[in-house]
Amino acid sequence: MKRIFYILIACTAVVSCGSTRQKSSNTPAVARAQVAEVEVVNVYEHQTDAYTQGLQFVDGLMWEGTGNYGESRLQYTDLSTGKSTVVATLPAEHFGEGITLLGDKIYQLTWQNGVMHIYDRKTLRQIDQRKYKGEGWGLTTDGESLYMSDGTPDIRVLDPQSLALKRRIAVTCNGESLPYLNELEWIDGKIWANVYTLDQIVIIDPKSGVVETIVDLRGLLPQSEYTVTTDVLNGIAYDSATKRIFVTGKNWSKLFEIRLL
């Protein structure tokens, strides 16, 4: 199945991405975010009870962290069979958020609990819990550090061993701060981020924090697939071996493989 979605909006049309305020004539010109066209390459089934908070494709498996109190879990799915295996269920008082796999560990955030659950990749057993300040939203890695969003325009860069803050990336779009950064994915040296409440993804330069590209995926999930529990787009995964990119949403019935044109 292939469908092409043409991007009809500029970055200034995106909620919280750009400003209508008048600029001084002395204000330096700001690089504008580009737009992208997207092709849907493949469609897979997705569990409608999975309130997707984190997504990552590693070693042929789609890893997923889900949210909601009493329902949060860590699981993986074999896309070739559609079979999902639950690795861990979080305590009922913990609201699961973003995940990432780095080295021999799996990291899973919680929303307002300030607790990061850490699992051993070989045994799939929880081996540690670490505390952090503020909220936890999205999580990704460049292979060395952890990158964590917390609903603000800042992405924290953390040491994976101590969770010590190494630096912050202040994300801007068309010169304005961009809050509500949610699920994150590291793809070819850039950070892809869902913007919460929007069916849109921004592609960020991790050095400058500037949004270089915006991908509008409104209408990606057909209206016929919506139910009362269907929520916003959230979840980005990258298969570095084949360059495949996957996206889904909270309680969505489908997982999409997409390609930027």
What is the domain count for the chain? 1
pLDDT of residue 3: 46
Q: Does any domain span residue 12?
A: no
pLDDT of residue 29: 60
Q: Does any domain span residue 39?
A: no
Q: Does any domain span residue 55?
A: yes
Residues 121-151, buried b or exposed e (16+ Cβ, 10 A)?
A: eeeeebeeeeebeebbbbbbbeeebbbbbbb
Q: Does any domain span residue 23?
A: no
Q: Does any domain span residue 24?
A: no
pLDDT in tens, 214-239: 998 989 999 999 999 999 999 999 99
Q: Does any domain span residue 54?
A: yes
CATH of the domain at 141: 2.130.10.10
Query: pTM score, two decimals?
Result: 0.90
Which portions of the chain are predicted below pLDDT 70? 1-31
How much of the chain exceeds pLDDT 90, in percent? Answer: 82
Tokens 């879990």 belong to 73
Q: Does any domain span residue 61?
A: yes
Instruction: Identify the domain containing residue 256 by its residue range.
Output: 47-260
pLDDT of residue 160: 95
Q: Does any domain span residue 211?
A: yes
